[in-house]
Amino acid sequence: MSPCLALLALALASPSFSGTAAAPRLSGSLGGLGALPALGAASPSAAPFPALTAPSAALAAPAPLLSLLSVPAAEESGPKPLAAASAEAQALFDGGRASEPGADWTLGVFEGDGGAAVHYKSRAGAGGAPARVYAGGLALTASFESLFARAQKPAGDELFLWTRGHAPSAWSATKNPIDADARDLAKAVALAARASPGGKVELVLHSFAALVFQRMLQLHAEPAVAAALKALAGSRVFLLHATTHYEGIDRRLGPEFERIVQATRAAVDFLDAGDAAAGLWEAAARMNPFSEPAASAWLGQWRFQRGQFLELASREAVALLREHLAEPWDKPVDRVRRALLKDLEADARDPGWQEALLRRSGDAFRFEFSPKDAARIRRLGLRLELVYSDADQLLSWESARAFLERLGIASPAEAPPAGSALRDKTGRLRARVVAGDHYFPLKRRDALAEILEP
């Protein structure tokens, strides 16, 4: 199971959340929120679109996994001009979020996949070492702020990427964000390669970002991705708390996990079906002005019920994150924890953040990482460094093993103690176990810095 996906998954473990529902329909009531008119009743005879009903069992479950959805209003659905997006980003930094650029960082923005404004920050290193690109997790992407706050100047240039849906990068509507993330990560690598010695780049990825890297390998035939992989060839790639997904892994992880996967897919399918029906209503209103009142009524009810569905779904994810961030960290890094809590309160109210989380979860559960994909890592000559914590509260050892086995790294049935190291036959793919939990990169920045040393 993907580490941050577990954040959402824990709430979906409830037997009341059924992932086996048929095509979703929007019903007249929303999990005890009060009766609403059945949307199908508003259908004009000229356009008999099917009603949509969300399974009441799904809505009754506190599912962190659904924690992220909401469709932007029509006028906000497209990407904003890069200059405007950059100005908005600076305003967010002025508000004191966790990822303030800092005195030695420069804020940047590039046009990502589909025209989205994707934000990053970068800083110059002392010179001589390859540039590094960093990307973080599914729910809270600021996985390296403690490391960045150290006084030591990095040996090479550094670039940190905010994936879409994580402020200041706004959510840009897409059904398959993992594909967009992979192409955006490739662009970030290309940016970093421009001024890096020999055009070479290293990657440091935490949690969900490790899945994005795997998807980037699968998109190797695309010219921009191929260029990024060329910059990575022969370099070190650090994957912290990484797992994967492929056919059969759900059954291996048990019936509870299978229910979680089914529920996640059903939730995404429900949103897609509702959005598709909304598109039909909008088209009907454009073609036939007389249908506009009925279309407006249907669309208004759909947006309301969709929003309520997403709000219910996100509660447990937010509650679990609050719990994980409630206990103070060591004094040198506790400021980051407090800033992350502040970020979380803003994110929890952001429909884009909610949608990004749910759709990325759905992508992760449909992802298929093959032995052929793993072989590409060797062909590229990558030095893969995997790091796992001995007390990870989100990632099970069995799900970590699934990735290690795909890579050809033999692993024991039980989680080894901190200090253990595992390697493949070539020695270029290595996994180590460290003392800590899923927030190791934030809580143990000096230990992470030591791992990242050339």
417 domain-assigned: yes
369 domain-assigned: yes
Residue 157: which residues within 8 A CB-CB, separation 6 or more? 122, 123, 124, 125, 131, 132, 192, 195, 196
Per residue in 132-166, pLDDT tens? Answer: 999 999 999 999 999 999 988 899 999 999 999 99
Tell me the mean pLDDT in the region 31-53.
Answer: 32
51 domain-assigned: no
Per residue in 379-388, pLDDT tens? Answer: 999 999 999 9
48 domain-assigned: no
Residues 329, 322: Cα–Cα separation, whole Å: 14
Q: Quick one: DSSP state of residue 206?
A: E
CATH of the domain at 389: 3.40.50.1820
Tell me the mean pLDDT in the region 298-317.
Answer: 83
pLDDT in the model for residue 135: 98
How many helices (H) and strands (E) in the chain?
Answer: 16, 9
The residue with tokens 């759709």 is: 359
Region of poorest pLDDT, from 61-65, 129-133, 227-231, 333-337: 61-65
Per residue in 173-204, pLDDT tens? Answer: 899 999 999 999 999 999 999 999 999 999 99
Burial of 20 (0-12, 13-18, 19+ CB in 10 A): exposed
41 domain-assigned: no
Residue 11: pLDDT above 80?
no
Instruction: Evaluate whether 298 touches 292 at the Cβ level (below 8 Å).
Output: no
pLDDT in the model for residue 313: 72
pLDDT in the model for residue 99: 55
46 domain-assigned: no
> Angle, to 10 degrees, between the axis of helix 223-232 and the axis of helix 208-218?
120
| 119: nearest Cα among 171, 72, 75, 69 | 171
pTM flag (> 0.85) = no
- Write out the residue range of the structural domain in which residue 367 sits: 1-36+56-454
Query: Considering its fold, how many domains does the chain have in total?
Result: 1
The shares of helix, strand and coil residues in the chain, as percent rounded to the nearest 5, are 50, 10, 40
45 domain-assigned: no
